[in-house]
Chains A and B, each alone.
Chain A
Amino acid sequence: MKPVGFQFAQPETLAEATRMLRDPGEDTKIMAGGQSLGPMLNLRLARPEKIISIAGLSELRVVDEGADFIEFGAALRHAEFEDGSLPEPIDGMMRHVARGIAYRPVRNRGTIGGSLCHADPAADWITALTALGATVRIVSAKGDTRDVDMTRFMHGAYRTEVNSDEIVTSVIVPRYSPSAVWGYYKTCRKVGEFADAIAAWVADPVKRYSRVVFGATAGAPIISVPLSQQIATTGEVPGKDVIKTELERLAPGLDRVKQHLLAVALQRCTKQALNHD
């Protein structure tokens, strides 16, 4: 379990990093925290010729606080969210999510951008940030910048919008009002393991926003519009059968245990949210 030999580049600026991506003939791979890429390299599932480390790029480690949004640099680490050193777009949610990712040593290195780009269906940020209505900012080797909504970012398991000559530079999360509520619940076999089922709900009466998201399915997180509306209007935890019927519609043929766990996760996360205030 040792990687195939590769070159290791540590650019000092984002511009230098993107320049390195220009040569289409060279098989390169970005490395942020290395917590997902590392195992892939060791298992020889990834065999790039060159690795470009972006973990130390200061441009990717900034937080930009706007009036309506907060922009988080892609190389901010899970541990930094967990420790509460970063501002919150909604009271305590990102901190809560970060704390539940993996183990502390992984959180010390793993980054929010790396997690999104790796796009493991069972990962936490992809579901949480979908519920938060976030946008991903991407720059290309040519220097173009584009913003992609989380609902379009992930194409499937381990597949995203990001092309091989692009880098995710930040995640932009809208700010929510003080009357907003959130819930986030996951089940997993042991502390630090990837989830078996995730459900998230974020709602803000001021913004007339409500979004229910299921994660740890076969592919991208799944949004349920009817359940989003139902919970927002009734203010009640939906019944298991209602959720299961909706899941049957959204993701037909799910394993019955998975379906059940997703329903339980949503019930528990909405309960959590509704008890918040």
Chain B
Amino acid sequence: MGTGIGARVARKEDARLLSGQARFVGDLKFPRLLEAAYVRSPLAHGRLKSVTVPAKYKDRVFTASDLTDVLPIRPESSLPGYKASEHYPLAKDKVRFVGECIAICVAPTRAEAEDIADQVVVDIDPLPPLVNAADAKSKDAPLVHDDWDDNLFLTTTFDGDMAFAEKNATVVIEREYNTARQCMNPMEGKGTLSHWDEKAGQLVVYTSTQVPHLIRTGVAQYLQMDQGQVRVIAPDVGGGFGYKCVLQPEELSVSWVARKLRRPVRWVEDRREHLVAGANTRQHHYKIKAYADDRGKLLGLDAEITVDVGAYSVWPFTACLEAAQAGGNLPGPYALEGYRCKTYSVATNKPGFTPYRGVARPGVCFAMELTIDAIARAVGREPADVRRENLVPGSAMPYTNVTGKFYDSGDYQHSISEATKAIGLEAFRKRQKEARAQGRFLGLGFGTFTEQSAHGTKVFASWGLPLVPGYEQAMVKLTPSGSVEVRSGNHSFGQGLETTIGQVASEWLTVDISKINVVMGDTGMTPYSTGAYASRGMVMAGGAVSKAAEELAARIRVHAAHLLQCDAEDVTLKGGKAWRGAASVDFADIARAWYLRPDQLDEDVDTAGLEVTQGYKPDIDTGVFTYATHAAIVEVDAETGKVSFEDYYVFEDCGRRVNPMILEGQTYGGAAQGIGTALFEEVLYDPSGQPLTSTLADYILPGPAELPHFRLGHSETPSPYTRHGIKGVGEGAAIAPGGAVLNAINDALEPLGVEINELPATPHKILSAIIDADHQKEVAG
């Protein structure tokens, strides 16, 4: 194995990240650099009458009236009925959320830029704000976009056959669920620095992004430039989570000013800007009617999903990816037959919805998992059993579910069995009983899900996106000194791709990873890639590197054969050398021969050389499905509403594990974010649309003391359809905690007659529900 696939290799990037040697956008130094600060809308909704800039700052402040040659961000979608929105990088006639950019101010320091911003006067005629989706959906709601006839970006309907379910169900469960609006809070916020490179004749954009090539496409498109005139470089990036997979309006305005002034300009998002203008994800509402038989077998599901999309559609994923995914993924790992689902993507006066780690699935998993538990309670059975019996059985794989999702492989039921065993279900039920007798409230909850990863062309096309990923390319090269260089247009921003794609190259070339240099993020140096999102990096970039490395290995064998005086078929690679029996030649010698002493090689040597670019596409286009079961044991302090963890176990199968240690890290991190979703994180607004959670004192993120000690278990069911059987896993662990933790809370509080169906389950919500239930009991008797 060495440092190839399956090895627990320490991350290549950690030495620089942990010793402060990484270079983020904020670390870059340029002569004559200007720092930018934005004048942002103080109101949620209003007509922008005027922006007055003090005369002395005319060449320091720019507004929509300056950026006349910039097109508004207007993502299209081919989904029928979709309405496009126009987002000007600096607001033009109307402001549509608190924090929307109105003017960009530049100065030698950020503090001075903020001083200038303080002196810009904006005059806005307030309009009635739309702060929640239900209001925005109502008939005579004011319009977010004046040229629309309602506030719906899109409505979709999936009209399956419910007749059997409706006729045969003995149990019908009706619930409404809410998930909060969240901010993704990568440690490094957005940051972007642009400068005009006179020699290259290029606008060079350093930006904190997951998708450098897409940003290059986007910047060129909206600034109306040729792509050859734009180079995007993503340096070290401190976390993305989806926040950095879309074109940001700031990337356009900063670039415009840099091009105009012919000076480097940088904007670095601060936490307040993030918590206000980046409050853009997760907010769903569900209305669910579930039909089951008296064993809890789910016969059908009738759902209405409303996504609070905010004011604008993001490029390229649009406002509707979320709802499309929610409607398609709600049935999740369950084998139900009847399904009806209506989705609404509603425009409101909030920042435009951006897909966050797990995309829609944390919401649908929450709704589905709570519904399964509600059914189990209604039929008086153990939720783990009801859950297991409803899952697609391993024997049915591959399986096409009710919404047409093609589950490629796996044994979902096994994940429950493992989780049940590891968490000690039976012993727990005993302990729970004893604890209840002492007035302590323990609860156990499960959350099971599938994570569609690396979905390809057909899937994205079905979501109507303007831009569809299909293949991925990578370059692998043997350098003149015999080391290896890998170039990928994907990006590594905390998820370890820099190491894991190196491991894939190491697998084929048998070179130790310390001798493999991975270059990513610079569109000037890497093949086109739509980037890192949708858990596609490992499958796609890994697959491309695998193909390129395989081809390079073949070429190395040909050259080696000449040096070893044998046939290429007789050459094997091992330990960074080519072998024929006991005789060997070092890669360094092979490289030297090719680059510097071609006279040592065959007369008709293959001039394709030792630098290989290959493209990759999995055998299926529908994505490959990772799956997992999370199990949480919590104790709820019924007097304070506080939830603490006794145990948390994750059993996951993501196919072949390229680096188990990185996978564990991804699981810890994702699960921690999921616990933020479950218990802590919530963007709140007052009735006028003012955000009330604009600092980290108000927007609570979990810290180490709030997190459980996660325990992990794995199985490996390789996908039959990808190189090495790899499936994506980056998002997964963020999906289930909402469901698992809330099920545990509801299990704990069942004796009090309390059921929480809203995220996050804050102490205040839990306590209010307990006080209400208490009150009802008093009233009742």
A interface residues (Cβ-Cβ under 8 A, vs B): 1-5, 39, 43-44, 187, 189-194, 196, 256-257, 260-261, 264
Contacts and interface: CB of A to CB of B under 8 A. Distances in A.
Given A5-B111, A189-B763, A190-B706, A264 B700 contact: no
Contact of B271 (A1, A5, A191, A192): A1
Given A196-B763, A261-B640, A190 B111 contact: no
Given A187-B640, A190-B702, A1 B771 contact: no
B680 interface: yes
A3 to B, nearest CB: 7
A39 B695 contact: yes
Contacts of B706: 190-191
B570 interface: no
A-B pairs with lowest CB-CB distance, top 4: A2-B111, A191-B705, A1-B270, A264-B639
Contacts of A193: 697, 700
Contacts of A256: 768, 771
Given A2-B111, A193-B700, A261-B640, A43 B767 contact: no
B435 to A, nearest CB: 19
A3 B118 CA distance: 12
A93 B764 CA distance: 28
Nearest to A267: B639
A250 B271 CA distance: 39
Nearest to A255: B764
13 contacts: A1-B270, A2-B109, A2-B110, A2-B114, A3-B111, A5-B115, A187-B763, A189-B700, A190-B700, A193-B700, A257-B771, A260-B639, A261-B767
B757 to A, nearest CB: 19
Given A1-B114, A256-B768, 10 more contacts: A1-B272, A2-B111, A2-B114, A4-B115, A39-B695, A43-B272, A190-B703, A191-B705, A260-B771, A261-B640
Nearest to A103: B703
Most buried by A among B111, B639, B768: B639
Interface string B616-644: 00000000000000000000000111100
A194 B697 contact: yes
B680 A189 contact: yes
Nearest to A1: B270
B572 interface: no
Contacts of B110: 2
Contacts of A257: 641, 764, 767-768, 771
A187 B639 CA distance: 11
B563 to A, nearest CB: 60
Contacts of B697: 193-194
Contacts of A260: 639, 767, 771
Nearest to A3: B111
A5 B114 CA distance: 11
Nearest to A264: B639
Contacts of A190: 680, 700, 702-703, 705-706
A260 B706 CA distance: 23
B762 interface: yes
A194 B639 CA distance: 19
Interface in B149-193: none
A2 B115 CA distance: 9
Contacts of A191: 703, 705-706
Interface string B102-125: 000000011100110010000000
A85 to B, nearest CB: 24
Nearest to A196: B763
Interface in B653-686: 680
Contacts of B764: 196, 257
Interface string B742-781: 0000000000000000000011100110010000000000
Contacts of A261: 640, 767
A86 B133 CA distance: 56
Contacts of B695: 39, 43
Given A1-B270, A264-B639, A189 B762 contact: yes
Most chain A CB inside 10 Å of its own CB: which residue of B114, B640, B762, B763: B640
Contacts of B768: 256-257
B709 to A, nearest CB: 16
Nearest to A187: B640
Nearest to A256: B771
Contacts of A192: 703, 705
B766 to A, nearest CB: 10
B603 to A, nearest CB: 67
A175 B695 CA distance: 40
B82 to A, nearest CB: 37
Nearest to B774: A260
A187 B115 contact: no
Contacts of A44: 114, 118
Most buried by A among B271, B641, B680, B762: B641
A9 to B, nearest CB: 19
Contacts of B702: 190
A194 B698 CA distance: 10
A264 B640 contact: yes
Contacts of B641: 257
A224 B287 CA distance: 47
Interface string B713-739: 000000000000000000000000000
B775 to A, nearest CB: 9
A264 B771 CA distance: 13
Contacts of A264: 639-640
A90 to B, nearest CB: 26
A265 B111 CA distance: 43
A188 B763 CA distance: 9
A1 B639 CA distance: 39
B252 to A, nearest CB: 23
B778 to A, nearest CB: 12
A186 B350 CA distance: 35
Interface in B399-445: none
A59 B508 CA distance: 69
Contacts of B767: 257, 260-261
A196 B642 CA distance: 12
Interface string B79-118: 0000000000000000000000000000001110011001
Contacts of B271: 1
A39 B272 CA distance: 11
B115 to A, nearest CB: 7
Contacts of A194: 697
A256 B695 CA distance: 26
A196 B118 CA distance: 34
Nearest to B768: A257
Interface string B48-80: 000000000000000000000000000000000
Nearest to A197: B640
Nearest to B700: A189
A256 B774 CA distance: 13
Nearest to A268: B639
Given A194-B697, A260-B767, A261-B767, A187 B111 contact: no
Nearest to B640: A187
A187 B763 CA distance: 10
A195 to B, nearest CB: 11
A189 B682 CA distance: 13
Interface string B261-279: 0000000001110000000
A44 B115 CA distance: 10
A137 B270 CA distance: 39
A43 B111 CA distance: 11
A5 B768 CA distance: 45
Contacts of A2: 109-111, 114
Contacts of A1: 114, 270-272
A1 B269 CA distance: 10
A39 B695 CA distance: 10
A19 to B, nearest CB: 29
B737 to A, nearest CB: 16
A269 to B, nearest CB: 13
Interface string B684-706: 00000000000101001011011
A188 to B, nearest CB: 9
